[in-house]
Amino acid sequence: MNRSERESLIKNFLVFFTLLELLLALIFFFFYTDKKKDIHELLLKRMQICSYTLSCKDFDYDFFPKSNKILVNHLYHMPKELYALFPLPNSKRYYLKISYATKRLDADIKELAYDILSLFALATIIIMGLSFVLTLYTLRPIRDALKINQEFIKDILHDFNTPISSMVLNLELLKKSCESPFISRIEQSIQTIVSLQENLRLFLKNIKHESSKINVADLVQERLNYFSALYPNLKLSMIKKANPTVYTQKELFTRILDNILSNACKYNKKNGFVEVIVEHHKLIIKDSGRGIKHPEKVFNRFYKESDRGIGIGLSIVKKLCDELDIQIDLQSEEQKGTTVTLNLKGISKNHI
């Protein structure tokens, strides 16, 4: 079970459990209230029986002066006792008063509460099991769909092996027969495809990339060299103000750089520039491109302002930055270019 499935399982379980537990709590609350009323009613009935037998050891007996405002066979609640009055045969001045100590009543209610809480705890355990079963039942179609998607992707990756191997072999033969800068570009593009294929395999296996020590300036220069070969009409350069080292997942960090640099190159002006400034805890990428009309929307999935692409590049960048604890900021102005700032303080070697 991968992280997404575990998260869905936990959240759905909590929803089912919380709703059922609230319903259970309401049921037991009303049940407890009714039982408290039953205790008072039962107490009055026992007093009525005791008024005939006068031999109930839990009750106290006394005489109470008669009055027109007094109700007989009615339970009265006082701070220290509960009592009821009953007629005395052949007595015109007094009622029989039968009382029950409040301390005893509190003990009875406490015992009732304990019994109900025990039942509530048992019911909660049952509710937990029921919630878990319901969660598994509702998630089963989603898990089946995910499994189908994963099998499909695995099949696609397997089918990619043959054309990629063929391209690599033919490229090696082509390099022996002639020399051309285009061959180098094709080779770099094939290596990118192979790298993305490997990333997808690791994703399917739910294996995280290992973190390693990375020299930021060296990696930036490597990626600038790569894109310089793809975009020879653009001026790609680096200004090195510091020589920072970070500790993070190189493959994901490289994908962040590649996506940003790719956009800076693709949407640039003719004979424009891309400039990367390496500072102590920051990486600033500037370009002379067409700019972005709504920069606040660029990290939204599928948002795009041109017919090119499908609008997920910067969304992926934002997701990867969040995963690697890198803060990203994008400023842009139409016809003047875009500036992307990566704050590397969270992965700086000096702050680990």
| Domains along the chain with CATH numbers | 3-138 (no CATH), 209-351 (3.30.565.10)
Q: How far apart are CA 150 and CA 170, in angstroms?
A: 31
How many Cα atoms sit within 13 Å of 155 on the Cβ side? 6
Q: What is the pLDDT of residue 34?
A: 93
Long-range contacts of residues 262-271, Cβ cutoff 8 Å, at least 24 apart: 262/227, 262/313, 263/313, 263/314, 263/338, 264/289, 264/338, 264/340, 265/227, 265/230, 265/231, 265/234, 265/236, 266/308, 266/309, 267/306, 267/308, 268/231, 268/234, 270/233, 271/233, 271/234, 271/235
User: Of 185, 274, 290, nearest to 236 (Cα)?
Assistant: 274
Q: What is the mean pLDDT of the chain?
A: 84
Q: Mean pLDDT across the stretch 46-53?
A: 88
**High-pLDDT (> 90) share of the chain, %:** 33
* pLDDT recorded at residue 203: 56
Query: Which pTM was predicted?
Result: 0.51
Check residue 327 and give its pLDDT.
Answer: 92
pLDDT score, position 314: 80
Q: Of 10-19, 151-160, 267-276, give the lowest mean pLDDT range.
A: 151-160
Q: Looking at residue 294, what is its pLDDT?
A: 80
User: Do β-strands 245-249 and 211-215 pair in parallel, antiparallel, or remain unpaired?
Assistant: antiparallel
* pLDDT for residue 52: 86
Q: What is the mean pLDDT of residues 111-135?
A: 92
The whole-number pLDDT of residue 202 equals 57
Averaged pLDDT for residues 228-243: 89
Alpha helices in the chain (DSSP H): 3-53, 102-177, 181-204, 216-230, 250-266, 313-324
More confident residue, 350 or 227: 227
Token readout for 240 is 């090195």
| Contact call for residues 321 and 283 (beta carbons, < 8 A) | no
- Cα atoms found within 13 Å of the Cα of residue 273, Cβ hemisphere only: 8
pLDDT at 226: 85
pLDDT score of 309 more than 60: no
Q: Is the pLDDT of residue 351 over 50?
A: no
Q: What is the mean pLDDT of residues 284-293?
A: 88
Q: Partners of 131 in the beta sheet? A: none
Q: How confident is the model at residue 352 (pLDDT cuts 50, 70, 90)?
A: very low
